[in-house]
Chain A
Amino acid sequence: DAGVTQSPTHLIKTRGQQVTLRCSPKSGHDTVSWYQQALGQGPQFIFQYYEEEERQRGNFPDRFSGHQFPNYSSELNVNALLLGDSALYLCASSSIDRDDTEAFFGQGTRLTVV
């Protein structure tokens, strides 16, 4: 049973460019959340997708957008990259049917903006 998979694992982009990160949730999960983790910090919630719609959003600018596909996989897009967007981006999957928020994370995508 595959866990949460993310691609790519590492990425280097130039300031001003756009980037797309991808996530496939754990089998049986229908909800995908994205987090940004700066060096030495805990993960910060970006947004969550369920039934192909953004369900909840954290305190991130509109440059951060996402998408969920019918197979529950998800993309995170960041436009007009800033140096401060350099971070580890984590995808977490969970099941909406559970009354708790047990979430399982992928290995992350390390984004470096130069």
Chain B
Amino acid sequence: SQQGEEDPQALSIQEGENATMNCSYKTSINNLQWYRQNSGRGLVHLILIRSNEREKHSGRLRVTLDTSKKSSSLLITASRAADTASYFCATPGAGNTGKLIFGQGTTLQVKP
């Protein structure tokens, strides 16, 4: 069953603008991860945020987590054409046994 669902499904912006993607999930989690995927290649791990964290930064990335709303957001600031990719959130399966459950992703296009 789908745990994380990203919104919007597709996003198109100009270089230099900020991009915000949202992820909603259904059950209690102890962490949430964001990944990037370029053109159907492998997933690149971007950031992991734990349930006791509300916000985390990594370079131009800012991730927030609201466990009361069961939602997370990924903000990419000052976007570049190289940020064009699909972005996925992933949450642990039941029992935190290592299984990850992914949403369908947000496809981001950054126009030069």
Which A residues form the contact surface with B (CB < 8 A)?
Answer: 4, 6, 31, 33, 35, 39-45, 48, 50, 55-56, 58, 88, 90, 92, 94, 96, 99-108, 110
Q: Which of B20-51 contact A (CB under 8 A)?
A: 30-31, 33, 35, 40-45, 48, 50
Contacts A100-B50, A103-B33; A42 near B98 (Cβ below 8 A): no
- Whether A56 pairs with B98 at a CB distance below 8 angstroms is yes
Q: Does B70 contact A (CB under 8 A)?
A: no
- Whether A101 pairs with B96 at a CB distance below 8 angstroms is yes
- Whether A31 pairs with B98 at a CB distance below 8 angstroms is yes
- Whether B41 pairs with A33 at a CB distance below 8 angstroms is no
Q: Which of B25-83 contact A (CB under 8 A)?
A: 30-31, 33, 35, 40-45, 48, 50
- Whether B48 pairs with A102 at a CB distance below 8 angstroms is yes
Instruction: Find B100's partner among A4, A45, A107, A108 (CB 8 Å cutoff).
Output: A45
- Whether B103 pairs with A42 at a CB distance below 8 angstroms is yes
- Whether B98 pairs with A33 at a CB distance below 8 angstroms is yes
Give the size range of B's interface with the partner. 20 to 34
Contacts of B45 in A (CB 8 A): 102-105
Report the Cα distance A100→B56, complex, angstroms: 16
Contacts A42-B88, A42-B105, A45-B93; A101 near B42 (Cβ below 8 A): no
- Whether B41 pairs with A45 at a CB distance below 8 angstroms is no
Instruction: Find B43's partner among A43, A55, A101 (CB 8 Å cutoff).
Output: A43
